[in-house]
Copies of this chain bind each other. A is one copy, B any other.
Amino acid sequence: MHIAVLGMGRMGRAVAGRLLDGGHRVTVWNRTEGKAAELISAGATEAGTVAAAVSGVDAALTALADDAAVTSVAFGELQTSLDSGTPYIDCSTVSPALGAALADGFGDRFLALPIVGGPGTVTAGKATLLAGGPAQLRERLAPLLGTLSERVRHYDSAAHALTAKVTTNFLLISGVAALAEAFTVGRSGGLGDDQLRELLADAPVVAPAVANRFDAVLTASPDGWWTTVLGAKDAGLAVDIAAEAGAHLPLAEIVRTRYEDAARTNPGADIAAIAALYRDGGDSAQV
């Protein structure tokens, strides 16, 4: 198949690379050019506009940061230039409300495909795809999904797939925030980092996906791909989904606030950098 991948953040590049490796033809586009050099060496074509990127493709795919970015691309040039029968797939983590709006706007050719797993997991073909849309479309796109990963969960609507994604993300980002506070408890009580590592690194109270970031949280490392800004956004999506149904989530609200606090200092840092708020036993962001 010939796929246009719109958005060359880390996730967009991983998806495009995986599709190329799987034998698909890939055209890439990004708001600012020059982020796709490696993909172009590997055989992708870069287009200067969304219209040029999606011309004649079998499917268009977006992998963008948030609701605003997806809205701008999807309801902008994409909608006006995509051939009327061509499927549109969005891999971004956006609100179920936007997912529903995209399903309205693009009809039964829209598939929400949020991805559980980081870019490295996508590259390795080990990510879990949450496919939300009409059954017929999911069947039609099965070869494409199969290239990305064998692990696919199916949902009958974009909104349900996105709700599942936000629910999953919330557990990971709240787990990272709780680990940062747990380290603060341990250090405040006089335990050294080696003692904390021995106590908790393989402990059943730490989720495996959080344990992947264990040393990153211990050192408040900024290196990674899931930024504090995205963490705040994802916690906010969780709060909003619940609020829409009349439910109040005090824990998620605090998690969002903490990532916002962390993002003020270092917006490009990984979510593990939330631990910097607690470093040296104090809480500089609150003072």
Q: Chain A 188-230, CB within 8 Å of chain B: the 1/0 string?
A: 1111000110111001111111100000000000000000000
- Judging by beta carbons under 8 Å apart, are B171 and A205 in contact? yes
A174 → B minimal CB distance (Å)? 4
Q: Chain A 170-200, CB within 8 Å of chain B: the 1/0 string?
A: 1110110111011111111111000110111
Residues of B within 8 A of A241 (CB): 185, 188-189
Q: Which of B163, B247, B254 contacts A282 (CB 8 A)?
A: B247
Q: Roughly how many angstroms separate A170 CA and B203 CA in the complex, as a whole number?
A: 13
Q: Please count how many residues in chain A sit with their CB below 8 Å of the partner chain's CB atoms.
A: 65
Q: Which of B163, B189, B248, B251 contacts A191 (CB 8 A)?
A: B163
CB-based nearest B residue for A187? B245
Residues of B within 8 A of A188 (CB): 163, 241-242, 244-245, 247
CB-based nearest B residue for A95? B189
Q: Which of B153, B184, B210, B257 contacts A207 (CB 8 A)?
A: B210
- Judging by beta carbons under 8 Å apart, are A167 and B153 in contact? no
Q: Which of B96, B181, B205, B209 contacts A168 (CB 8 A)?
A: B205
- Judging by beta carbons under 8 Å apart, are B251 and A167 in contact? no
CB-based nearest B residue for A250? B254
- Count identical subunits in the complex: 2
Residues of B within 8 A of A191 (CB): 160, 163-164, 167
- Judging by beta carbons under 8 Å apart, are A167 and B186 in contact? yes
Q: Chain A 146-179, CB within 8 Å of chain B: the 1/0 string?
A: 0000000101010110111011101110110111
Residues of B within 8 A of A255 (CB): 251
Q: Roughly how many angstroms separate A162 CA and B167 CA in the complex, as a whole number?
A: 33
- Those of A232-255 within 8 Å (CB) of chain B: 238, 241-242, 244-252, 254-255
Question: Can you list 25 residue pairs at the A/B interface with Cβ under 8 Å?
Answer: A153-B198, A159-B189, A160-B189, A162-B189, A163-B191, A164-B186, A164-B189, A164-B195, A164-B199, A166-B185, A167-B183, A167-B200, A171-B203, A174-B181, A188-B241, A188-B242, A188-B245, A203-B209, A205-B210, A207-B207, A246-B281, A246-B283, A247-B283, A248-B286, A251-B251
- A residues bordering B, Cβ < 8 Å? 96, 153, 155, 157, 159-160, 162-164, 166-168, 170-172, 174-175, 177-179, 181-191, 195-196, 198-200, 203-210, 238, 241-242, 244-252, 254-255, 257-258, 278, 281-283, 286
A-B residue pairs, 4 tightest by C-beta: A163-B189, A188-B245, A171-B205, A204-B208
